Amino acid sequence: MSPRPKIALDKNTIMLAAAELANENGSEYVTLAMLAKKLNIKPPSLYNHFDGLPGIKRELAIYSLEKLYNSLAKEAQGKSQGDEAIMALSQAYLTFARKNPGLYDFALSAPDPADEFVHDAGRKIVGLVISAIQPFGLKEEEAIHAVRGLRSLMHGFTSLEQKGGFGMPLDLDESYQLAVEAFIKGLKK
C-alpha cells in the first residue's frame, strides 16, 4: 500500500490488534514488528500513532484497566453490598484475567506505575471494592487495608495461576473461592 491510504488506521484499531496479539500469543508478543505485520504496515508507521513501544504498552495498560473496571462494575451491578458483591467482584476479576491473559499482564505492569492516567484507571477499581465492603463498617484506614488485602489475594491467585504456579491436581476455582471467603470472614469483627 502506498502512502496515505483511503482508510487510515486509527488508535482503536491498533489497540484491538495489540490486545488480540497479547491474548492469543502472550504479552511478550506485543512488539512493533509483530503488530505491524498484523496490521499490514511497516513498523515505523506505528510512530505516527503512538510514542513507540513504551507508548503502546502504556495505553494498553489503561485500556486493560478500563476493560477490567467495566467487567467488574457490570458484575457488581445489582448485587447487594457485602459478601455477595465481593464474591461477584472477585469472580469477575478472575474471569477477566482468564479471558484476557495477555491483556491482564499490561494492566499491572505499566512502564511507569506512577503515570497519572494509569493511576486513575486503577483508582476506579479500588472504588468498587471500597463500596462493596461498606457493610462491614470498617473505619477508613481499615477499609484501605482490607482493599489492599483483597487486591493482593485476587492478583496473586490470578498471577500464580497464569504462570502455572499451582502444581496439585485440585480444583482451582474452589481454592479461589475458599480463599476469598476466608479473607472476608477474617475481616469481620
Partner DNA sequence: TTGCTAAAACTAATGTCATTAGTTAATATA
Partner DNA sequence: TATATTAACTAATGACATTAGTTTTAGCAA
Sequence-distant (≥ 6) Cβ neighbours of residue 122 within 8 angstroms: 65
Q: How far apart are CA 23 and CA 100, in angstroms?
A: 5
When asked if residue 16 is in the footprint of DNA (CB under 7 A), the reply is no
The least CB distance from residue 125 to its own copies, in Å, is: 11
C-alpha distances (whole Å) from 135 to each of 68, 176, 187 are 24, 22, 11
- Picked from its own copies, DNA, none, the partner binding residue 41 (CB below 5 to 8 A depending on kind) is DNA
When asked if residue 66 is in the footprint of its own copies (CB under 8 A), the reply is no
- Picked from its own copies, DNA, none, the partner binding residue 185 (CB below 5 to 8 A depending on kind) is its own copies
One-letter amino acid at 142 equals E
Draw the binding track, 17-56, toward DNA (x: CB under 7 A; -: no contact): --------------xxxx-x---xxxxxx-xxx--xxx--
Sequence-distant (≥ 6) Cβ neighbours of residue 126 within 8 angstroms: 147, 151
Which residues here bind DNA, judged by CB under 7 A?
A: 1-6, 8-10, 31-34, 36, 40-45, 47-49, 52-54
